[in-house]
Structure 1
Amino acid sequence: MLKIDNINVSYGQIRALQNVSLEVNENEIVALIGNNGAGKSTTQKSIVGLVCVNSGSITFQGKELTQMKTNKIVKEGVCLVPEGRRIFSTMTVRENLEMGAYLSKDKARFAENEARIYDMFPILKERYKQQGGTLSGGQQQMLAIGRGLMSNPKILLLDEPSLGLSPMNVEVVAKTVVKIKEEGIPVLLVEQNAMMSLGICDRAYVLETGSIITQGTGKEMLENEEVKKAYLGL
């Protein structure tokens, strides 16, 4: 479905990604783990056209994305929920969801999606008139994910969704990611919380200083001695 083939990305003289290749298939959660500065977020930004790819190929459902502008990539069904939530803090919960559905003119579909988000995150329904900036960190992350889902994505890219959250909210996010997959939307999950991401993913890639150093199923990565030492604190 999504295929990255030997992409290279540089920031000036710094090589951020070096011959990175990965795939996300239908009905999969694929985790991309690694330390700060490994290139995880750069990989996701490359997919949606927020950083330029020097060489290599990124295709989604057979279409080449590297020469496509970000707004066109979004129309193809690729949605990035960025690190740090990036909600509109002075807008209400409902207005944030409306922004997620900006490209859609189907009012019936909007109502259907809104109901789906409120079913997934009941607290957002309770606070739909509340300004986004007054929500807790966990609630803001729910809103960021909900806003992304309002765009009817065919694939969801999540960048550090558990960052800064309490253990209880990390568990909520993990269950949400699994539910999104069960609804038929594949997920590319970037996480520093390797234990959480490897526990729910189908497959995983480990990125180190801009290169993929190993890959396998989530179970295989949890049992990998090098991964245990480097990312699981075991």
Structure 2
Amino acid sequence: MASYREIAVNGLWKNNPGLVQLLGLCPLLGVSNSMVNALGMGIATALVLAASNAAVALVRNQVTDAVRLPVFVMIIAALTTCIELLMQAFTYELYQILGIFIPLITTNCIILGRAEAFAAKNSVLHASFDGLMMGAGFGLVMLAIGTVRELLGTGAILGNMHLLFGPIAAHWQLTLFSDYSGFLLAILPPGAFLVLGLLIALKNVLDERAAERAKATAAAPAPATSRRVRVTGVIE
């Protein structure tokens, strides 16, 4: 059974769903044109992932192989419906903006994949933590894409955060470039592909440099240690 540290590192970096597995690309690219959209979708996905992994781990010993996948899909669909109803109740305008991508969390291959590959084989605590870390990794990638696209497209960040956090966030917007005419490509669908490709390239470069440093450290000779020898003799 993997440790909590290994689960966190896998979800956030080594096996990140968005940068390594390239799963869930429809919401990752479709609603990441702003920070608020990306953050709302990321939180919803992470909650469904954590809850579904915990539920699958609870019933894994009571479900036969013949109905395992249908049961998993029903669990994910039920939890997605709960998230959808909560968003309708508390963040209705953001729910309307995200549109069909919220109910499509049910078919997100990240969630079903983690239920089959991890939750069905591990304890409830490990499974729920794995779902939370995978969801956090997916959400952070989406938030990074949304930040870059919003900044390049409008010259500002944190716009319309009141849609998610209420009136307290009405004045959170930060305008970094005044009199900015905007870069339309950044907020159009091709901009999402370009930003995602740059993030994947950046991760690959960082991984290669880390591997080179680790190889150099392993190949370096161990520093010589001086030992002081005390010699005693007997003179007759």
Normalising by structure 2, what TM-score? 0.26
Structure whose CA Rg is larger: 2
Higher helix share: 2
Structure-1-length-normalised TM-score: 0.26
